[in-house]
Amino acid sequence: MTSPTTTEGTAPSGSTRIGLGFLEFVITIALMTASVAMAIDIMLPALPAMGTALNVTDPNDVQLVIGVFFLGFGVSQIVFGSLSDAFGRRATLLAGLAFYAFTMFLAAFVQDFQSLLILRFIQGIGAAAVRINSMAIVRDCFGGRDMARVMSYVFIVFMVVPIVAPSVGQLIISVATWHWIFIALGVIGGILFVWALLRMKESLPVSERQPLSVAAVTSGFKTVLTNRITCGYMIGLTLFTAVICAYVVTVQQVFGVVYGLGEWLPLAFAGTAGGIAIANFANGYFVRSFGMRRISHVAMILFTLVAIAIGLYALAGRPPFVVAYIAFTLLLMFFAVIATNFTAISLEPMGHIAGTATAITGFVSTTGGALLGGAIGQMFDGTILPLVAGFAVFGALTILATLWAENGKLFTHPSDDHATADHGGHM
């Protein structure tokens, strides 16, 4: 299959590169990446039941069911990036999906908390292969603001999962034990494997692959870490991964313990997830007109100001639920815009090593974010103050990292002057 813009001797561009139409491409990539969110968010209503069944004494320790998944997801990305660039996206993606599904089924039979945590870490490894290859496929097929637009629309489909996943988890534990959550995730992973096997073509031609060697990996690291734009925005991504990690690991306690929502937790979580979906839709609509930097820089400043404001409110006592809920929804909407555009900006100069670059930025941001966000989660003290204070600190540090990346200038960049110029990205 060829694209109208394909010239003789070149690979097809856009979604036709893997043999899909645009809509099918967006939905397929979204479902692949959404499987990671499903593996996290479906757990939220079941965490107390897991802790009780597996004799966990400290309620904060149950957060580790999510935290260690984030950690396994982060630390293994560098491996799959190199494999992806060397052997292609399709084979690595299929292997990751198979691994992900198999370990989900194994987790349904655990008898102790330590075994569950080990399997959750391993599940994160399988999920990392899925995420790395899905994002690399997007970068193979699109660039610049088109890439940011595609990622925004992918995130719209992706965010349906956090909206419904906690309710699915709540439904499962209302009619069966929490073990069936893992069986359901294993089935989903198996379906995605079959879909990728039957429908997706390879997006990385053999002629564009990188040799799998220590020198190639070292060269990839050097290229990523010495590019000011990529490195600066990677720091920002790390801090905002910490934001979402801290929120997800503590949301059950914040809504369930601080505000006593109980079985209403899935609905409350769905509302904030819906806000993220709306923000990504708006970003996809406006990014071609205003540019990735203008939108994301405004969002990070507003995020920091809102976090500081709700933090000061929390110092004086527990904010009313409505106030806290609106604040969290706004913060997560800003997070969505920042994460989407920062990812696109950080990868834009790395087109020739998209898999390795995605892996390195993912490795640093997810591992660092999991550790920082997990640390904030462990500070939970029955109030929202540790969480929102962490948000404020992360937001302020992101502003500093962005100023460094852009040589002190926010809101615009020479490559944002024209949509077609976004394919540059070097300082």
Q: What is the 3-state secondary structure (H, E, C) of the chain?
A: CCCCCCCCCCCCCHHHHHCCCHHHHHHHHHHHHHHHHHHHHCCHHHHHHHHHHCCCCCHHHHHHHHHHHHHHHHHCHHHHHHHHHHHCHHHHHHHHHHHHHHHHHHHCCCCCHHHHHHHHHHHHHHHHHHHHHHHHHHHHHCCHHHHHHHHHHHHHHHCHHHHHHHHHHHHHHHHCCCHHHHHHHHHHHHHHHHHHHHHCCCCCCHHHCCCCCHHHHHHHHHHHHCCHHHHHHHHHHHHHHHHHHHHHHHHHHHHHHHCCCHHHHHHHHHHHHHHHHHHHHHHHHHHHHHCHHHHHHHHHHHHHHHHHHHHHHHHCCCCCHHHHHHHHHHHHHHHHHHHHHHHHHHHHHHHHHHHHHHHHHHHHHHHHHHHHHHHHHHCCCCCCHHHHHHHHHHHHHHHHHHHHHCCCCCCCCHHHCCHHHHHCCCC
Tell me, yes or no, whether 6 lies in a domain. Answer: no
Q: Residue 425: what pLDDT?
A: 41
pLDDT beneath 50: ranges in the chain:
1-9, 417-427
Q: How far is Cα of residue 301 from the mean position of the Cα atoms in its chain?
A: 21
Among positive and negative, which fits the CA dihedral 188, 189, 190, 195?
positive
What CATH number is associated with residue 223? 1.20.1250.20
Q: Residue 375: what pLDDT?
A: 94
Tell me, yes or no, whether 11 lies in a domain. Answer: no
Q: Residue 348: what pLDDT?
A: 81
Tell me, yes or no, whether 174 lies in a domain. Answer: yes
Tell me, yes or no, whether 14 lies in a domain. Answer: no
Tell me, yes or no, whether 5 lies in a domain. Answer: no
Q: Whole-model pTM? A: 0.80
Tell me, yes or no, whether 8 lies in a domain. Answer: no
CB-side exposure of 350: number of CA atoms within 13 Å?
35
Cα(320)–Cα(160) distance, rounded to whole angstroms? Answer: 28
**Residues in Cβ contact with 347 at an 8 Å cutoff, skipping those fewer than 6 apart:** 135, 139, 147, 230, 354, 357, 358, 361
Cα(327)–Cα(111) distance, rounded to whole angstroms? Answer: 39
What is the residue range of 237's domain? 19-423
Overall domain count for the chain: 1
Q: How far is Cα of residue 422 from the mean position of the Cα atoms in its chain?
A: 23
Whether 77 contacts 132, CB under 8 Å:
yes
Fill in the amino acid letter for 128.
A
Tell me, yes or no, whether 204 lies in a domain. Answer: yes
Q: Residue 203: what pLDDT?
A: 82
Closest CA to 359 of 109, 139, 101: 139
Cα(128)–Cα(359) distance, rounded to whole angstroms? Answer: 9
Q: Residue 423: what pLDDT?
A: 39
* Polymer length of the chain: 427
Tell me, yes or no, whether 12 lies in a domain. Answer: no
Q: Residue 11: what pLDDT?
A: 55
